[in-house]
Structure 1
């Protein structure tokens, strides 16, 4: 699930994402207002009018409980139909661990928005980024892409998904921009580690047989 060609590059990216995510969490811990970067970005995105608001709501739904479950079920069903059981495990484990990480971090950081709602990191952004990154990892493995092309595809998919959901969260006023960056970093940190763990566990079970 973690192509050998990407282990070094995605490992480095995961470390950098972890450091950035932790740094942002420390900077904004316990705060209930936008920071400097937020104040620069948020006014140009927050409160978009129709039809952009409708698009933002549609994107947001993809990471709401019903939408997220539907996406995961569809992805798992596709993997099982293609006889990729390890990929199905990755989709479930990656989604659960990524969202779980955001749930764990939110009370630790304690950043709030709108009536005390915990906001850092954005679970919506983390979920969609993780799902896109997992799909990209599957594509890299199946296409046999090298390090440069594979890394570009993985990062590109993560960037597009993270930017789309991040924009939606800011436009709807649900998160500060730095919350969405934190969610993106969470996905980049957790997903490659999850893929490595799935591979490691599957290989060990195979050796025992």
Structure 2
């Protein structure tokens, strides 16, 4: 689904340049140009930079056994998503709102979305409470959205650049999560016959003639 939406959006941007809703949505967001908003956007912008994402990935690897077990996959997808977005920028060739550098999709947003979805997936595989998973999910989604908002507020991207970054990051992270989930060793462990269950009770078996 995300891949199809990303490809469709990319083709539309390639064909039309600035999308019909880009200018209006950008103007609506930029109306809130108070000093505090600019400061928040500057700080939120760091969420899509390597200065934040690299330490965040290291902390994730240190804390999570799931992340450590497949660290090559997660490292590859974080790097690979960046390479893909650079290639797509060259293919689409649309300029940013300010300047002549290429903008679709947003690199900061792609990186933040990739990291956020990887974090959500890893949290879903860890032994965490429902409240802990919800907290991590909300934090990851807020990070992704804040970076996208900041890129528009800092005059760096059109809204469709940000949307493209979201979709590309989700696609890359989802592909990595699918690959990890398909590994036999990633499947949930099954209790053998006669092994105590969570209440310490043996699992009885019956034979049928």
Counterpart CA distance in 2 for 1:179 and 1:39 is 12
Cα RMSD (Å) of the superposition?
A: 3.0
**C-alpha displacement at 1:50, in angstroms?**
1.4
Structure (1/2) with the larger helix percentage: 1
In structure 2, the residue matched to 1:18 is 3
In structure 2, the residue matched to 1:13 is none
The 1:187/1:145 distance shift into structure 2, 3 A limit, reads farther
Structure 1 regions of 5+ residues with no counterpart?
1-15, 205-209
Select the residue among 62, 79, 83 that pairs with 1:77: 62
Question: Any conservation in 2 of the 1:133–1:157 contact (CA below 8 Å)?
Answer: no
Counterpart CA distance in 1 for 2:84 and 2:136 is 21
Select the residue among 28, 41, 44 that pairs with 2:13: 28
Counterpart CA distance in 2 for 1:83 and 1:153 is 18
Alignment of 1:1-209 (within 5 A): 16-29=1-14, 34-46=18-30, 48-79=33-64, 82=65, 84-113=67-96, 114-143=98-127, 159-200=141-182, 203=185
**C-alpha displacement at 1:78, in angstroms?**
2.7
TM-score, normalised to structure 2, is 0.73
Select the structure of larger CA radius of gyration. 2
- After superposition, what is the alpha-carbon deviation per residue over 1:12-64, rounded to whole angstroms, capped at 9, x for unaligned? xxxx11111111111111766x3211122100213722111111111111222
**C-alpha displacement at 1:200, in angstroms?**
4.9
Structure 2 regions of 5+ residues with no counterpart?
187-209
Counterpart CA distance in 2 for 1:62 and 1:162 is 8
Report how many residues are paired: 182
Counterpart CA distance in 2 for 1:22 and 1:138 is 27
Task: Tell me which of the two structures has the higher relative contact order, counting C-alpha pairs closer than 8 angstroms and 6 or more residues apart.
Answer: 1
